[in-house]
Structure 1
């Protein structure tokens, strides 16, 4: 059994390396890949935080990858101050039509921390995406919270209907439970990491959702 797992992980490593080489905006020459039990660890250095994010997304696209551990460091070639990063972040947030004025930014040692409240998960993520590509950024910490709103009584039914509409999901394999506070729990099976992400995104798209608990089991 151990030899079978080693072979599987070895092949998965090759596929992840091939995918990283395939992505044009990721320099894979200084990225190392290790795989244990379907868990991919990315190591090495890249030139920007956004490139680090793209590398992780590329690895997650590979069939059979269960999760990605990010141990890549950002080697910034730019001499830039926290004040300059903060000013650029403020400009980027103001320019994004999906980021409300309630979002705040703090920069320490070129690590951006986002705080404040938004009404929707997509607004939280829009704020993160707006600043992750900025020059000199080492990391982005997203501590933005969601404004509590009444969850619709048929929230689970609405999310399940979204599952049924999705070509990426097997809606019969995923069960949902919800609370009055807006917490959604997913149980069941998924066939890929991309299916897991699609299910999570569908949950966050529902009004009133404040948290998504993933208890899905890999079936690949």
Structure 2
């Protein structure tokens, strides 16, 4: 069991160990497993790195993200950012860029369109996260699988159990057409995300409703 102070310290240390982050930029508070990240960073990818570092800390149930992105040099125009985004998507071999639409407004990028696999959606976001001038990404890409076979519940369950970090967790699977619903409990936010990513790999999945709850007890200091 961790106290709030212990969880706060563990998250701070996790961020400190990320080579691309400066711990002084990011403040951390923790209460009953909910971690709040605050501060200002000079690149969007640093914001993502901080979130990922916090997710991997044992005991984190949820993250409240209040990190701002502020560039020290002159901000690139939305037109320049849009051109960089289009080029980055073209250069990313795993993304069928002709199926996507891009909108840029004050450094915020919105991605729209339809792809056949979730890994393509994730790859599109990763391809543009490191671009200069990006303040945020709103990924609204929809998944529309070309596979018409009905999703088998047992296939999703087998995939979850085959992963050693998930096989002992209390994860329940329900299938509704092309949608997978995950309920039950896991012991970390990392496992919750991993379960969703694993379910997405099932052929024919169009959406995943991740209702998993992170359960862990905390010591209370009075």
Q: Distance in 2 between matches of 1:133 and 1:39?
A: 27
**Hey, which bits of structure 1, 4+ residues long, moved more than 6 A?**
none
Q: Distance in 1 between matches of 2:46 and 2:184?
A: 33
CA RMSD of aligned residues (A): 1.6
| Structure with the bigger percentage of helix | 1
Task: Tell me how far 1:148 sits from its aligned partner.
Answer: 5.0
Whether the aligned pair in 1 keeps the contact of 2:78 and 2:106 (CA below 8 Å) is yes
Normalization by structure 1: what TM-score?
Answer: 0.92
* Aligned residue number for residue 206 of structure 1: 202
Within the candidate set 107, 122, 131, 1:110 is matched to 107
Residue 117 of structure 1 contacts residue 147 of structure 1 at CA under 8 Å; is this kept in 2?
yes
| 1:27-48 CA distance string (max 9 Å, x none) | 1212111112211110000110
User: Per-residue CA shift, 1:123-179, capped at 9, x if unaligned?
Assistant: 111111111110010001101111254553352111111112111112562110001
Q: Which residue of 2 aligns with 1:160?
A: 157
After TM superposition, list the pairs within 5 Å mapping 1:1-220 onto structure 2.
8-79=3-74, 80-100=76-96, 101-147=98-144, 149=146, 152-170=149-167, 173-180=170-177, 182-220=178-216
Please give the secondary structure, in 2, of the residue aligned with 1:201.
Answer: helix
For residues 155 and 76 of structure 1, what CA distance do their matches in structure 2 show?
47
TM-superposed deviation, 1:219: 2.8
The alignment's TM-score, normalised by the length of structure 2, stands at 0.91
Distance across 2 between alignment mates of 1:63 and 1:41: 15
Q: Deviations over 1:26-72 (max 9, x none)?
A: 11212111112211110000110000000000011100001111100
Larger relative contact order (CA 8 Å, sep ≥ 6): 2
Q: Which secondary structure state, in structure 2, belongs to the residue aligned with residue 116 of structure 1?
A: strand
Gapped runs of 5+ residues in structure 1?
none
Deviation at 1:191, TM superposition (A): 1.6
- Figure out how many residues of one structure are paired with residues of the other and give that number: 214
Q: Secondary structure at the match of 2:8?
A: helix
